[in-house]
């Protein structure tokens, strides 16, 4: 069976970590009867450099002709944010892709690999309890996609970002959250700001209504400020974390640190037809770009998610996750998960990828 994958490596560390993910997929290919065809597309600042567009039409075409999109990262150094190469880059590329393909749900698994216990910043008693949180982030509405403008009022500029939520959108992701929770620990924690925001009130009302159809699951509501605290205090008590767009962006970065590093984080963005884009949400990390030091595990685990969710290749997904587990257990560490006090071996991006390929069974 052949699977067609659009590869959009993008900017910063994107191309480096993408190389390792492709290497892993090719190794898998050589050890099974599955085959992949990769078609590369330009995106972000690196696309602008060539085409003066952050998301060329050609790239959209490549994505439309593929069965899944493997995405790296986009965006440039903060000091150059006003340069046309980078100005609006994320909005024009990754947000435009989310909109174009109607990706409404973003899935971010947050789990602590046992071998990284010693690198986890949580206190011992919490680490012992462990955690396995599935962050479901609404991806198509909220403040990201509302009307934006900056205008002059009374002699000074005022910036506006409208936040909006449609009942049907909340309903759709809430159903998905409970369907997934049913296969896990049967608990949904829904995050909002219902004490202040209209969007929060509607979010809470709709999620509560949907929950009635899933009596086997428990529902907990948390205000986002409280949620950010509870996640640190009692991570083991969370199962499915259901978040509006911006809150999911923020809280998933917070929890990713408990897993060792933001560089470990993988994600899947899915639309109603089941088409998906898979990306490590850690960003382009310009300070690390070109140095062969970035952690490729988030990108590799994103590729694994693609195999499972888009292609139904559960076994192959598990093979990659097991290889990652093993590489960590033999103490291979990129800089972000390296602890000098233990017997860790500090490795480069490439060495990490090679080691994972070698451990693929």
C-beta nearest to Mg ion: residue? 249
CB of 75 to Mg ion, least distance (A): 11
Question: Is residue 336 annotated as a catalytic residue, yes or no?
Answer: no
Residue 239's binding partner, choosing from Mg ion, ligand IPM, none, with beta-carbon cut-off 5 to 8 A by kind? none
Q: Which is nearer to ligand IPM, 304 or 355 (CB)?
A: 304
Q: In the complex, what is the shortest distance from the CB of residue 132 to ligand IPM, in angstroms, rounded to a whole number? A: 20
Q: Which of 4, 31, 52, 225 is catalytic?
A: 225
Q: Report yes or no: 265 and 252 within 8 Å, Cβ to Cβ.
A: yes
- Assess whether 31 carries a catalytic annotation: no
User: What distance in Å separates the CA atoms of residue 154 and residue 143, rounded to the nearest whole number?
Assistant: 25
User: Could you say whether residue 141 binds ligand IPM (CB under 6 A)?
Assistant: no
Question: 99: left (phi > 0), else alpha (psi -120 to 50), else beta?
Answer: alpha
Residue-by-residue DSSP string for 66-111 = SSEEEEEE----GGGTTSTTTTTHHIIIIIHHHHHTT--EEEEEEE
Which pair of tokens denotes residue 98?
């989310």
Specify whether the CB–CB gap between 144 and 179 falls below 8 A: no
Active site residue 253: yes
Give least dist CB 300 to ligand IPM, A: 17
In the annotation, is 225 catalytic? yes
> Binding to ligand IPM by residue 94, rule CB under 6 A?
yes
- Chain residues 224-253 in contact with ligand IPM, contact rule CB under 6 A: 249
The reply on whether position 281 binds ligand IPM by CB under 6 A is yes
Helices (DSSP H) in 212-244: which residue ranges?
A: 224-233
Contacting ligand IPM within 66-85 (CB under 6 A): 75
CA distance 226 to 220: 12
Q: Which residue among 20, 90, 336, 354 contacts ligand IPM (CB under 6 A)?
A: 90
Count residues binding Mg ion (CB under 5 A): 2
Half-sphere exposure of 34 (CA within 13 A, CB side): 19
Pairing of strands 267-270, 276-279: antiparallel
CA distance 6 to 239: 32
Catalytic member of 11, 172, 192, 193 = 193
Which residue of the set 3, 144, 165, 278 is catalytic? Answer: 144
Residue 314 among the catalytic residues: no
What residues numbered 225-254 form the site for Mg ion, per CB under 5 A? 249
Q: What are phi and psi of 14, to 5 degrees?
A: -45, -55
Task: List residues near ligand IPM by CB under 6 A.
Answer: 75, 90, 94, 249, 281
Catalytic residues: 144, 193, 225, 249, 253
Task: List residues near Mg ion by CB under 5 A.
Answer: 249, 281
């Amino acid at each position: 069976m052949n699977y067609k994958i659009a590869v959009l490596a993008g900017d910063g560390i994107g191309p480096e970590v993408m190389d390792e993910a492709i290497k892993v997929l090719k190794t898998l290919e050589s050890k099974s009867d599955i085959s992949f065809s990769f078609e590369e597309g330009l995106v972000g600042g690196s696309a602008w450099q060539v085409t003066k567009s952050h998301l060329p039409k050609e790239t959209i075409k490549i994505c439309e002709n593929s069965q899944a999109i493997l995405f790296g990262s986009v965006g440039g150094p903060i000091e150059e944010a006003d340069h046309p190469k980078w100005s609006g880059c994320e909005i024009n590329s990754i947000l435009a892709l989310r909109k174009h393909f109607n990706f409404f749900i973003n899935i971010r698994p947050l789990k602590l690999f046992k071998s990284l216990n010693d690198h986890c910043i949580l206190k011992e008693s919490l680490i012992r309890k462990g955690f396995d949180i599935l962050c479901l982030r609404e991806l198509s509405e909220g403040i990201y996609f509302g009307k934006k403008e900056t205008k002059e009022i009374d002699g000074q500029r005022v910036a506006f970002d409208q936040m909006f939520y449609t009942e049907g959108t909340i309903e759709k992701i809430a159903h998905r959250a409970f369907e997934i929770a049913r296969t896990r620990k049967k608990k949904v924690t829904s995050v909002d700001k219902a004490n202040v925001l209209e969007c929060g009130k509607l979010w809470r009302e709709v999620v509560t209504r949907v929950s009635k159809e899933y009596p086997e699951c428990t529902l907990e509501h948390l205000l986002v400020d409280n949620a950010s605290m509870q996640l640190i205090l009692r991570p083991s008590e969370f199962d499915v974390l259901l978040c509006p767009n911006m809150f999911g962006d923020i809280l998933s970065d917070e929890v990713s640190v408990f897993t060792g590093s933001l560089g470990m984080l993988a994600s899947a963005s899915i639309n109603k037809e089941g088409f998906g884009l898979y990306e490590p949400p850690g960003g382009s990390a310009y300070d690390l770009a070109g140095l062969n030091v970035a952690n490729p595990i988030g990108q590799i685990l994103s590729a694994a998610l693609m195999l499972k969710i888009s292609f139904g290749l559960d076994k192959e997904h598990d093979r990659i996750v097991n290889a990652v587990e093993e590489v960590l257990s033999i103490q291979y560490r990129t800089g972000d998960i390296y602890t000098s006090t233990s017997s860790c071996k500090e490795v480069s991006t490439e060495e990490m990828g090679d080691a994972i390929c070698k451990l693929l069974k």
